[in-house]
Amino acid sequence: MSSNATDIPPCPHAVGADDAEWRLTLADAGETAALAARLAELVGAGDVVALWGDLGVGKTAFARGLIHAAGDPEEEVPSPTFTLVQIYEGGGTPVWHFDLYRLTGPEDIWELGFDDALEEAVSLIEWPERLGRQLPLRRLDVELAFAPERGATARCARLIGRGPDWARRVARLETEHGGAG
């Protein structure tokens, strides 16, 4: 992992005054999973992690890395594209993995038990843009982008901690792991 990459393409999501941002390059799926595992140490009930990026960029691989680190590393973690949500209870705090690609409208999220997830679980959300205004304001945004100029399997990652609590956690991640290779 390399951090402070200056040539990472800009993302459309603005960083607010109470937010913190960390940009880094991930060489391959292994580094993506390692970053997710580091994040698993910092999440708990009520946390929302929104996974942004194009189809095939590694959102599910990131989710799989976090779920394995937070619970059973042998657990099968398929993409919940057709079921929309998959619940994992192997660790201390449940993880609800949402894939909202097929969500018909933002209001339909409540039929999936989203309110329960927001209270008692870590919510990993792929395709969070489908939620519109239903997406919680205090969250971690993980934006992944293809980086072919850095290698066939490389990804650019941008973590944005929304709100003071997430901003502190992103700063901690960057400080502790920003220089890790």
> Cα(48)–Cα(142) distance, rounded to whole angstroms?
11
Tell the residue number behind the tokens 């409540």, with chain if given: 110
More confident residue, 12 or 36: 36
**Chain-centre distance for alpha carbon 128:** 10
pLDDT tens figures, 91-132: 789 999 999 999 999 999 999 999 999 999 999 999 999 999
Could you read off the pLDDT of 47-80 as tens digits, one per residue?
999 999 999 999 999 999 999 999 878 778 878 8
pTM of the full structure: 0.88
Domains and CATH numbers, the chain: 18-177 (3.40.50.300)
Q: Residue 180: its pLDDT value, please?
A: 44
* pLDDT tens digits for range 141-168: 999 999 999 989 999 999 999 999 999 9
Question: Can you name the residues that pair with 25 across neighbouring β-strands?
Answer: 2, 156
User: How far apart (Å, rounded) are the C-alpha atoms in residues 106 and 131?
Assistant: 4
* Token output for 109: 């999220």
Query: What six digits make up the tokens of 30?
Result: 């292994």
CA angle, residues 78, 181, 157, in degrees to nearest 5: 50
- Take residue 136 and report the two structure tokens written for it: 């919680």
- Dist CA 160 CA 166 (whole Å): 8
Give, as one character, the DSSP assignment of residue 78.
Answer: -
